Structure 1
Amino acid sequence: MFLVVLLTSLALLGCGPKLPLAPAVVIDEGETPFYIIGPGDTVEIFVWGNPEVSTGAPVRPDGRITVPLVEDLQATGKTPTELARDLEQALARYIRTPVVTVMVGGFVGRSSEQIRIVGEATEPQALPYREKMTLLDVMIAVGGITEFAEGNDSVIVRTINGAMSQYRVRIEDLIKDGDITANVQMLPGDVLIIPEAWF
């Protein structure tokens, strides 16, 4: 699915009407959701009064963790608090009334909450989303654009409530000319496509 969106977007970059510019600020849709654990995250598990089972664990690509006394427990799709309650339930077979705290480090998040940068970025990659992240933040993280990039024809592909929209962004104006009006807010799940210039 991601590849289809990418190829469609790249095809649209070279022809047809210009896309609308991305909105500078996206309207806040309410309360910030809790962090949801994803593959690649690292969780630190503290079991009160039981240091021998307190440990750190990476969340595997299959979304599970294995810790002392508990094997293959699903972690992805849960908040740290939900995972702590699941661990308490699993550890209750071995420890009387366990009290567990889960802390997340090495944030990666679920793929739907990452921002993907493809094309003529210096270092194309997927970035974990941070609250109020902007296009400038993304450009700093990927090291800017290559000398072959057509930065002002870049596109953000954004899916909200199942509907896909595309917006043009002016990366060259932002990072080469310092035009801060070209800075726009990014959202979780955005795909930033930076095309190659046609010489």
Structure 2
Amino acid sequence: MNRFVAGLVVVVQGLVLSACATSPGKDAPPPPAEGAVAVDAYHIGVDDIVQVNVWRNPELGITAPVRPDGKISVPLVGDVTAGGHTPEEVAKDIETKLSAFVRDPQVAVILTDLRSHEYLSRVRVTGAVRQPVSIPYRPGMTVLDAVLAAGGITEFAAADRADLHRNAAGETGAYAVRLDRILGRGDLSTNFPVAPGDVITVPERTF
């Protein structure tokens, strides 16, 4: 009997661990909003200010904004594409090009002003709302705040089938938002806090 009980405990523990590891379903709350940008994974954008430092060669360093064509000009090597790349990728590209002029160059690329991040930090509301909008994210903003900024829903909206779309770790998840309950009953259980880059979609009813 003791062996049976011990075995049953192990099975139950395994089921619990398996359930905890399962990814959240469509109706699960979205992950907490992240207020900070992971600079190591940040992709440089137009108007961002970058600082390029070359070890033992300070005269080759620059601080400059990324041009509309996504490039910066670096002494000796000329134009280097920065837009769409991480600081580490840009540094390696500059090192490769500088190696024709400098022995064993060591380059560091530092972001000093994330000007393009304002665009990435917007929250968008689309679909059956009175005025689809793209609004700047602010701490504490919720789904209801964003929908009200869009003028509310139209008479054709399927408010019970709205979704919050969020990209996390390279994967986009959809989370059910019951706008009918939020607006009609004051039920705020799905009035999730939004995060930079979120998209709220409100479909139309099918007749």
TM-score normalised by length of structure 2: 0.50
The residue identity in structure 1 corresponding to 2:111 is: V
Within 5 Å, give how 1:148-159 maps onto structure 2.
148=155, 149-156=157-164
Does residue 196 of structure 1 match 2:204?
yes
Residues 167, 52 of structure 1: alpha-carbon distance in 2 compared, 3 angstrom cutoff: closer
Matched position secondary structure for 1:174: helix
Structure 2: unaligned runs, 5 residues or longer:
1-24
Q: Which residue of 2 aligns with 1:171?
A: 179
The counterpart of 1:135, out of the listed 143, 150, 163, is: 143
Structure 2 Cα separation of the partners of residues 102 and 35 of structure 1: 12
Structure 1 Cα separation of the partners of residues 27 and 171 of structure 2: 16
Structure 1 Cα separation of the partners of residues 130 and 84 of structure 2: 31
Task: State the Cα deviation string for residues 14-39 of structure 1 (Å, max 9, x = none).
Answer: xxxxxx863224389xxx8544216x
The counterpart of 2:48, out of the listed 43, 48, 53, is: 43
The residue identity in structure 2 corresponding to 1:179 is: D
Within 5 Å, give how 1:84-95 maps onto structure 2.
84=91, 86-87=93-94, 90=97
Task: State the Cα deviation string for residues 131-173 of structure 1 (Å, max 9, x = none).
Answer: 9985346436x53534333323213467889998755311243
Q: Which residue of 2 aligns with 1:73?
A: 81
Does residue 181 of structure 1 match 2:186?
no
Residue 194 (structure 1) shift: 0.8
The residue identity in structure 2 corresponding to 1:105 is: R
Q: CA RMSD in A?
A: 5.0
Structure 2 Cα separation of the partners of residues 54 and 27 of structure 1: 35
Within 5 Å, give how 1:107-126 maps onto structure 2.
107=117, 108-109=119-120, 117-124=125-132
Judging by fraction of residues, say which structure has more helix.
Answer: 2
Does residue 24 of structure 1 match 2:29?
yes
Structure 2 Cα separation of the partners of residues 173 and 128 of structure 1: 26
Structure 1: unaligned runs, 5 residues or longer:
1-19
Contact 1:81–1:102, Cα closer than 8 Å, also in 2: no
Residue 83 (structure 1) shift: 3.3
Residue 44 (structure 1) shift: 0.1
Contact 1:84–1:101, Cα closer than 8 Å, also in 2: no
Structure 2 Cα separation of the partners of residues 66 and 27 of structure 1: 35
Among the aligned pairs, what percent are the same residue?
21
Count, aligned residues: 168
The counterpart of 1:147, out of the listed 149, 154, 158, is: 154
Structure 2 Cα separation of the partners of residues 35 and 132 of structure 1: 24
Residue 90 (structure 1) shift: 4.9
Matched position secondary structure for 2:66: strand
Q: Which residue of 2 aligns with 1:105?
A: 115
TM-score normalised by length of structure 1: 0.51
Structure 1 Cα separation of the partners of residues 190 and 90 of structure 2: 40
Residues 99, 189 of structure 1: alpha-carbon distance in 2 compared, 3 angstrom cutoff: closer
Structure 1 Cα separation of the partners of residues 93 and 138 of structure 2: 26
Structure 2 Cα separation of the partners of residues 175 and 42 of structure 1: 40
Structure 2 Cα separation of the partners of residues 161 and 54 of structure 1: 30
Contact 2:142–2:194, Cα closer than 8 Å, also in 1: yes
Contact 1:135–1:184, Cα closer than 8 Å, also in 2: yes
Residues 41, 163 of structure 1: alpha-carbon distance in 2 compared, 3 angstrom cutoff: closer
Bigger relative contact order, structure 1 or 2 (CA pairs below 8 A, ≥6 apart): 1
